[in-house]
Structure 1
Amino acid sequence: MQAFTPPDLKGVWASTLLPVTDSDDIDFARLETALDVLVGSGVTGVYTNGSAGEFHTLTEDEYDRLHELVAARCGAAGVPFQLGASHPSGQICLGRIRRAAALRPAAIQVILPDWLPLSRHEAVAAAERMARAADGVPLVLYNPPAAKTQLDTDDLARLAEAVPALIGIKVPGGDAAWFERMRGGAAGRLAIFVAGHTLASGLMLGASGSYSNVACLNPAGAARWYAQMFDDPEAAIDVQRRLQGFFDAHIAPLARRGYCDPALDKTLAAIGDWAPTGTRVRWPYRSVPEAAVPALRRAAEAAVPELLA
């Protein structure tokens, strides 16, 4: 498909979540069912291998099978797709980038090599080599709070200037002052993606979109909410307030009990009940019990019924 430029990179993107069997294998039949829902949900596009997609657990054969499936389904439906090539090993990441590039996605998502923190020079060198491996497909850099190398606004500007193939970033975002700093210089051309449950306020500050945990909860609801952000921003902010209240009361306690982000994202999908993904995550991580879901669903329906409709 046509490679994206920074202005193209926007909207609400939904993650492929891995349905996992009791033997820890990926259930590709259930994954195909979920993909059918995603491509018909109205989200801006579909992406793979963010944290929610458990990229760190995939074998290379699973990686290739997943991407061939997503490229085929999204291509047939005319839905934009981005492929995640992230891996804690930079060497394995380069191989993933090359194979993802052959499928010609709109962009390839990457992280910086992640066992040891990188110096500023090393971060630029890593991004430059990733861009060469991508063979003309643009890059989106994930720099979440869990990343070993944390980039500030100056670092992001330096990367944007050195690596024109870098068109976007996924970051926690910040306050108005942070967005103002990002608008200055080379960093101003990067599309900024923030957490899904902060998108309504993030758009007002200068964000472009989200790789969305709200789409984990309900992709069609996330797409409707994104449209509301333009049609009725005040109402969209009210949804965000109630959504964050639900997260604070019901999802944050699960995080404090030690459940990892993919486990929380799969729990959101189980609450939304839009595909047979289940809450199981791959070894060695702990899964939220399915028995917890009905009460969580009732709480979500009370807080944000318009997202779950």
Structure 2
Amino acid sequence: MQALGPRSLKGIWSPLLLPVDAHEAIDFDRLGENLAAVLRTGVNGVYTNGTAGEFHTLDEREYDRLHELVADRCTAAGVPYQLGASHPSGQISLDRIRRAAALRPGAVQVVLPDWLPLHPTEVLTALTRMAEVADGVPLVLYNPPYAKTQLTPRLLTRIAEEVPQVIGVKVPGVEVAEGLTERLAVFVAGHTLATACGKGAAGSYSNVACMSPAGAVRWYERTRTDPAGAREVEGRLRGFLDAYIAPLAADGYSDPALDKTLCAVGGWASVGTRVRWPHRSVPESAIPALREAAWEAVPDLLTDPAGSVDGIKRNRAASGPAGSARGGA
């Protein structure tokens, strides 16, 4: 596909969550079904191997099979895609970048080597080497809150100036990229989308898309046509997350476990709540109450595109008491 740039990289990008069986093998049949469902929702693109995609658990055969599937299906559907080449080891990451770049995605997502914090000079050296290996495919730097090396506005400015192959970043808050939103596509957490778009963010690699890709797309469009209304949705969404998902995080459930929980709450895909060892999975028995709370808080994210009462009833009936999620804890 055509390479992305700082201006063309925007909107709602949906992660590809891994359905895993009782033996922790990836169910590639279900993965293909779920990818097909995502591609019908109008998302701006699909990305692989972020935290939600449990990239740190993949072996190299799984990594290649996953990317061949995504490249083939997204190309056929005409939907942009980014391939994640992240790994805590910089050396393994370089090899993953080479293989991902050979499929010519719109961009390759990377994280900084993560066992030890990097000096700013080492950050620039690492990204320069990654860009060389990517062979003309642009990079997006993923910098979650738990990364050992945290970007600062000053360091991000240096990256923008010295490593032009980096076209975008995923950061905890748009303020990290203050003054750089014209030079980089700045992506934020999905649930902060409306506020962040008002400050220049380009879009989100979206936890909200885990719960409802189509709903996340409608919400993004509303940030442009009705900013005040979009911020009102964000307030209700954050209230739901604070009341029902944050306690799970406080109990030690990992981000991938929470993302799969949101997918089960939305009931649109057969991912299940099971995550790979050594992380715990949120029990399927918790989903009905969470789903009920989500429908009360943000039905406009979960309805069919018509947003009608009849549509809400159809979606709730189709989801059932535990949604279409299978596998589970």
| TM-score above 0.5, yes or no | yes
Matched length = 303
State the partner residue of 2:55: 55
Q: Give the Cα separation in 2 of the matches to 1:121 and 1:188.
A: 24
State the partner residue of 2:310: none
User: What fraction of aligned residue pairs are identical, expressed as a percent?
Assistant: 65
Cα deviation, 1:185-224, whole Å, max 9, x if unaligned, reads: xx74011000100000100011010000000001011111
Q: Give the Cα separation in 1 of the matches to 2:168 and 2:84.
A: 13
State the partner residue of 2:230: 236
Deviation at 1:182, TM superposition (A): 3.0
Which of 270, 273, 276 lines up with 1:276 in the alignment? 270
Contact 2:106-2:137 within 8 A present in 1 as well: yes
Structure 1 runs not aligned, ≥5 long:
none
Q: Is the helix fraction higher in 1 or 2?
A: 1
| Matched AA of 2:171 | V
Which of 179, 203, 216 lines up with 2:197 in the alignment? 203
TM-score using structure 2 length: 0.91
Contact 2:174-2:200 within 8 A present in 1 as well: no
Q: Give the Cα separation in 2 of the matches to 1:42 and 1:151.
A: 31
Q: Cα RMSD (Å) of the superposition?
A: 0.9
Q: Give the Cα separation in 2 of the matches to 1:74 and 1:13.
A: 13
| 4+ aligned runs moved over 3 Å, structure 1 | none
Alignment of 1:65-144 (within 5 A): 65-144=65-144
Deviation at 1:162, TM superposition (A): 1.2
State the partner residue of 1:292: 286
Call closer, same or farther: CA 1:174–1:192 in 2, change over 3 Å.
Answer: closer
State the partner residue of 1:221: 215
Deviation at 1:24, TM superposition (A): 0.6
| Matched AA of 1:194 | V
Cα deviation, 1:28-71, whole Å, max 9, x if unaligned, reads: 01101100111110110000000000000000000000000000
State the partner residue of 2:300: 306
| Matched AA of 2:10 | K
State the partner residue of 2:7: 7
Cα deviation, 1:114-143, whole Å, max 9, x if unaligned, reads: 000000110000000000000000000011
The range that moved more, 293-302 or 165-174, is 165-174
Q: Give the Cα separation in 2 of the matches to 1:23 and 1:154.
A: 45
State the partner residue of 1:18: 18
Q: Give the Cα separation in 1 of the matches to 2:197 and 2:187.
A: 9
State the partner residue of 1:172: 172
State the partner residue of 1:182: 179
Structure 2 runs not aligned, ≥5 long:
304-329
TM-score using structure 1 length: 0.97
State the partner residue of 2:30: 30
Q: Give the Cα separation in 2 of the matches to 1:190 and 1:247.
A: 29
